[in-house]
Structure 1
Amino acid sequence: MNILEDLKQRGLVSQTTDDEGLTKHLEENVVTLYCGFDPTADSLHIGNLVQILILKRFQRAGHRPIALIGGGTGLIGDPSGRSTERSLNDLEVVQGYSEKIKQQLAKLLNFDDGENAAIARDNYEWLSNMTIIEFLRDTGKYFGVNYMLAKESVESRIENGISFTEFSYMILQSVDFLNLYEKENCTLQIGGSDQWGNITAGLELIRRTKGGEKEGKAFGLTVPLITKADGTKFGKTAGGAVWLDPEKTSPYEFYQFWINTDDRDVIKFIQYFTFLELEEIEELVKEVEISPEKRTAQTRLAEEMTKMVHGEESLKQAQRITRALFSGDVKELTAQEVEQGFKDVPSHIVSKEEMKLVELLVEAKITSSKRQAREDIQNGAIYINGERKTDVSYAVSAADRIDNQFTIIRRGKKKYFLLRFE
């Protein structure tokens, strides 16, 4: 099975500019392809993963990927998929974002030596050197206003208004494709389906300027925008976006995101995001149908994604936290694991070396009064680091701390509270 057939079987192809021609091109050549990532934040998020992993799939099939950082276009803003103008960031901010994104991409693509080693490029390199006269004479003349207005990314913004800055974005992206076509022999651009207008604009610029050179032949491929069965936006949680940066979204939170995948979405996400063979995926389809309560497919998805993005040790750590929270036995966790697993629970800073449990429950607002605290303790509803405490005279001391930093109190079955010690 060739790479294009595999992508189609996984549901990863939305549109191609020339399906038959692209198939032949991929069969006969080691193809250089690219995908662009504009640095609009200091981290990529899981919405970017499909495009990154498409590059990885092509690389594993023997082709050569280029990860293009939009250090130049990131200063402008892509109108695609938006109803309002983006806020413009300063050059220093965008360059800082660009560097962090390059580091993330280096963890997911193979940039080591080899004929098809991935390379990173930053379009600030050529866009920043282009004068306004060059832009208008050498590139702008190839783009009719009516042609640009017909693009969905522009047409959808006409009613609410679009600045000339964002209107020109597709021309700048076309310059990227032309530049990579000339300098790197790059003949394929990929992107989300919202990038179709920008990709075809780049192909038009190549056709108009390079028609007689290498037959001016280049291709475009888009992948579907990811939707969830329940109608909510993919990649969002109650806490916000799911980032690839472990400082912004911990490996445990990342693992939990995939574990909580809806049964209706899990197979689709396995096809999109993992490199599992289609035969194994078929077995997981049966598991979802026969024993959905086991969540075998969700566990496999979470394992594959966490290991891929954060590494084997982070996966093991996420699994340890998950098991500890499920069993309630949290005393074996490290301070770092406590930070991850209890990031969003109510917390309280304790300044005393030792404190009566009754008083502590009231001070930390775990119970409303000392009377309620005594009742909870006597009824066996209070746990310290997973151990039930029924003695109302119990005092919380240094012996109850995890790595001398935290104590975890649970009230009832699921209400957790985190005590931090100064």
Structure 2
Amino acid sequence: MRDIELLAPAGDLERLKAAIYYGADAVYIGGKRYGLRAGTNNFTIDEIKEGVRYAHARGKRVYLTLNIIPHNEDLVGLDEYIAATHDLGIDAYIVSDPGIFTLVKKVAPKAEIHISTQANNTNWMSALFWHNMGAKRVVLARELSISEIKEIRRNVPDTLELEAFVHGAMCISYSGRCLLSNFLTGRDANKGECTHPCRWKYYLVEEKRQGEYFPVFEDDRGSYIMNSKDLCMIEHLPELIDAGVSSLKIEGRSKGIYYVAVTVNAYRKALNSYMKDLESYRFDKSLLEELSEASTRDFTTGFYFGRPGPEEHNYNKDICRTSHDFIGIIRGYDRDKKLIKVEQRNRLFANEEVEVLTPHGVYPFNTGTLYDADFNEIDCAPHAQQTVWMKSEKEFAEFDVLRRKRV
């Protein structure tokens, strides 16, 4: 059985470290330019250097997105950027444009190149073209079915890796190529500035009745006519692997650290369980429940088992539900004093019952007495990212997460 990679998103250095801590084999990141998530913090050159060092020290890989659809001005300085990041040890570049592909081959001829889903990789001839040009991997379009992926795998060499999305937001435009954001707001989705107008409410206006708004459906909240459910394939990893996919990709470079922790942790457990015993594998349904504990829309399997129908959209809402509140992230443990150091993310109270999420399980925990950064006793931690100390006989590690179940 070939190695299967779990590939996680990392919008910044903290999320990169969290993704690796919770079990990602590789992470994909973006710099301050050239990637399709301009709204995230993204990485400076120095942060890329630290992220690569951190990942490589743990045997993990880092891929850098250069997947915009560029205009002429976007090419200025790109060669120097490729050279600088290649020297830092980037393991692969994710590109969608033939011009950027050519430039990477020229500046860093030995660099590994992955072809982004933005390149509309929907058939084996396209995949074979990119492989013959020197690509190591093709990221498959989200619009493919399992049977189509199998056909691609049969018709391309084993030396070409196939990567597919398994979790995260779905785009209503073909392989993410969308002009709606540009048309409505002037922000170009193909250059990383999407405003997600597919998630907005829409009403009808009759030409001669300006100011009178009619819901597309009879609902006083309007209608979310393009609002797709989120992709979730955690129950179907065996089918994807059997189809020939070797990298399982989680979407979400714009998502927070709690999403990264919960999602990577759940997929890591599912993948490990399957790879350990292929014949008698049974999916653990508690992992699906665990995924729902991060802020999420309803789930869909997308195009993998046929074309999506009306039930794959949320027409009446764009509500991200969650059963838990993310309240803190552990930053360290003082063994002598038996205290854990917590960075608060939402209001945290003394003597409340919470949970600690770790890669090894979820543990009930009472916060007990709280102490501020100067070890003064406090009743609650109301300030954003406030440092809090609390007693714990159990040693927890950095990036373990505190969360509170909603009543």
Same fold (TM over 0.5): no
Structure with more helix by fraction? 1
TM-score scaled to structure 2, two decimals? 0.30
TM-score scaled to structure 1, two decimals? 0.29
Structure with more strand by fraction? 2
Query: Who wins on radius of gyration, i.e. which is larger?
Result: 1
